[in-house]
Every structure is written in structure tokens, then in C-alpha cells.
Amino acid sequence: GAVVSQHPSWVICKSGTSVKIECRSLDFQATTMFWYRQFPKQSLMLMATSNEGSKATYEQGVEKDKFLINHASLTLSTLTVTSAHPEDSSFYICSAEQGSSYNSPLHFGNGTRLTVT
Amino acid sequence: SQQGEEDPQALSIQEGENATMNCSYKTSINNLQWYRQNSGRGLVHLILIRSNEREKHSGRLRVTLDTSKKSSSLLITASRAADTASYFCATGVPTGTASKLTFGTGTRLQVTL
């Protein structure tokens, strides 16, 4: 149980275009999902907290107009990278928590590798 | 920044040996978690230790937590080649209905035959 599916697993796009990444909790409902970004051989940096039915909470330094997050249902959150540029190339990972306890582990998607040419 | 630091950054051992990774963090926490990441993949949860716990075991994994020193360690006993991966500690603080995790810098473990 507790599977998080992330799609696509990789995407190549041209500079200036937008890319949408989906994160789905397959067998549980997730009121809260998290979006992370990871550069090669580095740690995960939290970008934003996605809340079902309300606006996402962005971390300091993350442009909310560039990284649009929508959490329209209890099983789906989407991250749209708008007007992508080469510096947006990175590995994006989503996660969701099963259960409502603050001591529950997060379940991660397999990530999306974005390459902007 | 609450981001934790892990050491060593990289560790290379032979199969059968034990691997120990350390994590330090900066602020008060609800819990500390360890995750594993294979190259180019998502993270897999290994073990969670609450702030009021000092030690926890799961199979070949042993985790300790010292809140007075703001540090934790992960011990993998009798390592296998399949344990080769990056290991991250993460500290959790409550936000909304879930814990917001801040990840450490990670330890890249290489287990050779």
C-alpha cells in the first residue's frame, strides 16, 4: 500500500514552454502533498506544500508564479513549471503522507527529470 | 536553515561490513526519519524515530537519536551490494495535516563485493 505515482518520469522541453507534472496517491487520500527539487548529487529542497482545496504554501525563494501548484482532489497534485528555462532543469519529486499523524512517514513518487533545452 | 548535515558525505565499504552514517540538525523536532534513494529514483522510507525515543531497530537497521546533541546515526549491519544508494536523514515539524520534512545533505554509500 501507500503508493505515490508521479508522471512523467522524464520530460524534455524547449525554453519558454510550460510543463505539467502530476503526483497521485494511488491507494490513499492525501490532504497534503509536498514538492521537492533536487540537483545532481545534492539533497532535496522543499519547494512548496500543496494543500487540497486551498492555495499552496511556497518556501522562501520559490517563485509561486513560475511553479504553479494545484491540488484539486485528495489524490492529485500538479506542479506546472511555466515558461521553463534551462536553469529549471532538475529532478522534481513529490511526496504525500498517509494518515493524519505528524509521525507518519512520507511516501515519495519516483521523480520527474526535467530537461529544458 | 534547518537543513541537517550528514557525514560522511561518501562511504565505501565491502559487503558484509557495517556502515554507519551520522546526521546533525539545528532545531527542535517532532521526529527524525531516514530515507534511501537509488540513483535517479524517488525516496524510500526506512525508519522513523520520535523525539522521545532514543533507539530503534528494523531488520539490519539501527537508528539512534540524541536530542540533546541534535544528532542521529544510522547503522546498517552486514551490508550487501544492494544497499548501495544515497541515504538521507530528515527532520519533521508539523504543518497542516502532515509533517514538513527538511532533508540532510545525504551520505552516498557504495558497497562492493
Q: From the list A31, A36, A43, which residue is nearest B105 (CB)?
A: A43
Does B67 touch chain A if contact means CB atoms closer than 8 Å?
no
- Please tell me the distance from the alpha carbon of residue A112 to that of residue A22, in angstroms, as a whole number: 9
DSSP letters along A45-90, please?
EEEEEEETTS--EEPTT--TTTEEEEEEETTEEEEEE-S--GGG-E
Q: From the list A4, A102, A107, which residue is nearest B99 (CB)?
A: A102
Judge contact between A34 and A111, C-beta under 8 A: no
Does A102 touch chain B if contact means CB atoms closer than 8 Å?
yes
Q: Quick one: cell of B61?
A: 537497521
Q: Which range has the worst mean pLDDT, A105-109, B65-69, B87-91?
A: A105-109
Closest among B99, B74, B78 to A96, alpha carbons compared: B99
Residues B105, A42: C-beta atoms closer than 8 Å: yes
Provide, rounded to the nearest whole percent, the portion of chain B with pLDDT above 90.
73
**C-alpha distance from A34 to closest chain B C-alpha (Å):** 8
Interface subset of A 55-84, CB within 8 angstroms of B: 57
CA angle A106, A110, A111 (to 5 degrees): 100
- Please tell me the distance from the alpha carbon of residue B5 to that of residue B76, in angstroms, as a whole number: 19
Chain segment B4-22, per-residue pLDDT in tens: 788 899 999 999 999 999 9
- Please tell me the distance from the alpha carbon of residue B56 to that of residue A39, in angstroms, as a whole number: 31
* pLDDT score of B41 more than 50: yes
- Please tell me the distance from the alpha carbon of residue A7 to that of residue A20, in angstroms, as a whole number: 9
One digit per residue, the tens of pLDDT, for chain A of length 117 reads 689 999 999 999 999 999 999 999 998 988 889 999 999 888 999 999 988 888 899 999 999 999 999 998 999 999 999 999 999 999 999 999 876 666 778 899 999 999 999
Q: Which range has the worst mean pLDDT, A35-39, B2-6, B67-71, B86-90?
A: B2-6
Chain A residues lying within 8 Å of B42, measured CB to CB? 4, 6, 93, 95, 108-111
